[in-house]
Amino acid sequence: MFHEIDLFPPQEREHEPTMLGEQPTIHPTAQIRASRIGGWTEIGPHTTIVKSSFDDYSYAAGDVSIIYADVGKFCSIASHVRINPGNHPMNRVTQHHMTYRRVQYGLGTTDDAEFFAWRAADRCMIGHDVWIGHAATIMPGVQIGTGAVIGAGAVVTHNVAAYDIVVGVPARRLRARFSAEVVASLLAIAWWDWDRATLEARFDDLRDPALFLAKYAGT
């Protein structure tokens, strides 16, 4: 005999999504520190965002780590993604973080401010409408162009061009989503900057690239 069981809270059931709005929707288990979060965003469970920006309509599915990064609008970030994982000083005698987290080890009265400034300056830049697949890693300083796709499990060590698809370890270019002409037109239209009223009025056109370009290219 089978019994119908539903242990998920209503907002986590399939087909019963949480309604989003101007205020960010942040799971109680998520941790946000010294960051800017846009509207119509959703931050999933056990996600950490530190000293970063996370722009309008983007979401992080859960167990995502983002530090020293700027994430654009309409980005789709799958679970277990890591953006800008910590670097260690390979040029030192030891790479161990005791050399810069000195206070924690009782080896100094202050931490290594120069090291942390270097980490903070080596930001990741994620464009608009980027899809980052499950468990992908974006290494420090990498820039991901608008409309790009990062395959599941990829380790991205170099910049990714707009609307390119990259996969693998280390990530390599698989192909472009559209022709160069279409990419140029989409970047020029910059639909991600439309206000809410314009987005609502033109929403149905987002499903058909040919129709979309016929209507809005050159406007």
pLDDT digits (tens, 9 = 90+) for 108-136: 999 899 888 888 889 999 999 999 999 99
In total, how many domains does the chain have? 1
Is there a domain that residue 39 lies in? no
pTM for the whole structure: 0.89
Rounded to the nearest 10°, the torsion over CA 29, 32, 33, 35 is 180
Mean pLDDT of the chain: 92
> Which one is catalytic: 3, 27, 80, 88?
88
Say if CB 137 and CB 80 are below 8 A apart: no
Is there a domain that residue 15 lies in? no
| Nearest CA among 173, 181, 121 for reference residue 145 | 173
pLDDT digits (tens, 9 = 90+) for 149-193: 999 999 999 999 999 999 999 999 999 999 999 999 999 999 999
Known catalytic membership, residue 88? yes
Is there a domain that residue 206 lies in? yes
34/53 Cα distance (integer angstroms) = 9
Burial 99-121 (b: 16+ CB within 10 A, else e): bbeeeeeeeeeeebeebeeebee
**In which element (H, E) is residue 150 found?**
strand 149-150
| Nearest CA among 27, 32, 24, 82 for reference residue 56 | 24
Structural domain containing residue 210: 178-219
